[in-house]
Amino acid sequence: MSNFSCDLSILQDEVDNFVICTEGSEQQRCKEAISDLYCIYRKDLLLHLQMLVRDINIAEELLHDTFMRVFTMSSIRAIKKPRPFLMKVAHNLALDYLRQKKSKPTENIGEREVELDFIVEEPEYVDQLIKAHRLRYLRQAITNLPPRAKEALLLSKYREMTLKQVAQEMRISQTMVEKHLKTALEKCREAMCSKPH
């Protein structure tokens, strides 16, 4: 967690030094928007970049460059769908990095470089890896739920039962079903947000 706050403070320092907004309040809104985007999408972007470049240090540099590039845009608030936009910027930066790396002469082509070429050529493959990775964490989170919360979640979401049907099945009130579902969803969200990148 300390790396995350350190990364954010480094990014904020650079954003403070890079002034593109003319008015003070507009500049503050730009910084807040970047901070919000960073907090929300950092883990996904870093995982995506790591899968592409296979080096955590390079992935972190590319993550930083992604947000600096977004900050230099004339209107950050004009981005309607930030996640796909940020993924595309990060992906393009990773491809640029890999192209530069590839253009440097190498004495031997190892298995790692061949594997990277395969991943770069198949962005759908990377998306599938990310989805599989998230699914594993979600399954683990569901497995670790308290028994009644797990039962309520499975009946409601996977068997698509109404709250009334779940209450009848579990022999409890609808209010208790709602409480169990709330607990289950909160614990799943916590597990997904605290997963290592």
For residues 192 and 133, what is the distance between their CA atoms, to the nearest angstrom? 10
Q: Name the token pair of 91.
A: 């992906």
pLDDT at position 69, please? 85
Domain borders along the chain are: 1-104, 122-197
pLDDT at position 125, please? 62
Using the CB atoms, write b or e for 106-122: b if 16+ within 10 Å: eeeeeeeeeebeebbee
CATH topology of domain 1-104: Rna Polymerase Sigma Factor; Chain: A (1.10.1740)
Residues 12-62 pLDDT 10s: 444 444 444 444 566 677 777 778 888 888 888 888 888 888 888 899 999
Dihedral sign of CA atoms 75, 81, 84, 86 in order: positive
The Cα-based distances of 10 to 61, 66, 135, 169 in angstroms read 11, 14, 32, 53
pLDDT at position 21, please? 42
Judge: domain 122-197, CATH 1.10.10.10: yes
**Does this model's pTM top 0.85?**
no
For residues 82 and 78, what is the distance between their CA atoms, to the nearest angstrom? 9
Residues of the chain with pLDDT under 70: 1-27, 74-77, 103-127, 194-197
pLDDT at position 105, please? 54
